[in-house]
């Protein structure tokens, strides 16, 4: 999505991204970014929390108008209800290494089969 924002901007359409993957978006480099430090999946706010969602969307609209230079990131103040997701997401542990290796092997085999199937 960061690449799409860059291309739109170059075509004269001002953009703002709402997202939760700070490092990926900033590494790419985008014009305007509203970052909410939530698990990936709900970049517009906690499910069913209409007030929070409205505030986050409003922040994005404001940023469209107020940003004066590219790479402008605004961090919203919201916190997820717990922090366990921070370590658990895509976690590699001693007790899941064998399972992950098996998952990867299965995936590669499926992809190879798909490539060979006309």
Residues 16-35 that bind another protein (CB under 8 A): 16-19, 21-24, 27-31, 35
Dihedral pair phi/psi, residue 42, rounded to 5°: -130, 60
Rounded Cα distance, 85 and 70, in Å: 31
Site string for another protein, 43-82 (x = CB under 8 A): xxxxxx-x--xx-xxx-xx--xx-xxxxx-------xx--
Name which of residues 78 to 107 contact another protein (CB under 8 A). Answer: 79-80, 83-86, 88-90, 92, 97, 100-101, 103-105, 107
Burial profile 18-39: b = 16 or more Cβ within 10 angstroms, e = fewer: bbbbeeebeeeebbbbbbbebe
Supply the minimum distance, in Å, between the C-beta of residue 81 and another protein.
10
Which pairing describes strands 72-75 and 32-35: parallel, antiparallel, or unpaired?
Answer: parallel
Smaller CB distance to another protein: residue 3 or 118?
A: 3
Six-digit token pair at 115?
């490539």
Interface with another protein includes 112 (CB under 8 A)?
Answer: no
Residues that contact another protein, how many (by CB under 8 A): 75
């Amino acid at each position: 999505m960061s690449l799409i924002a860059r291309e739109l901007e170059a075509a004269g359409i001002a953009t703002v991204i709402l997202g939760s993957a700070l490092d990926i978006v900033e590494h790419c480099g985008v014009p305007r970014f509203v970052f909410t430090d939530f698990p990936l999946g709900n970049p517009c706010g906690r499910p069913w929390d209409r007030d929070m969602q409205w505030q986050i969307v409003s922040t994005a609209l404001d940023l469209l108008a107020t940003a004066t230079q590219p790479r402008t990131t605004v961090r919203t103040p919201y916190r997820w209800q717990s922090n366990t997701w921070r370590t658990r997401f895509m976690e590699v542990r001693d007790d899941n290494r064998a399972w992950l290796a098996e998952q990867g092997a299965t995936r590669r085999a499926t992809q190879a089969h798909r490539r060979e199937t006309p």
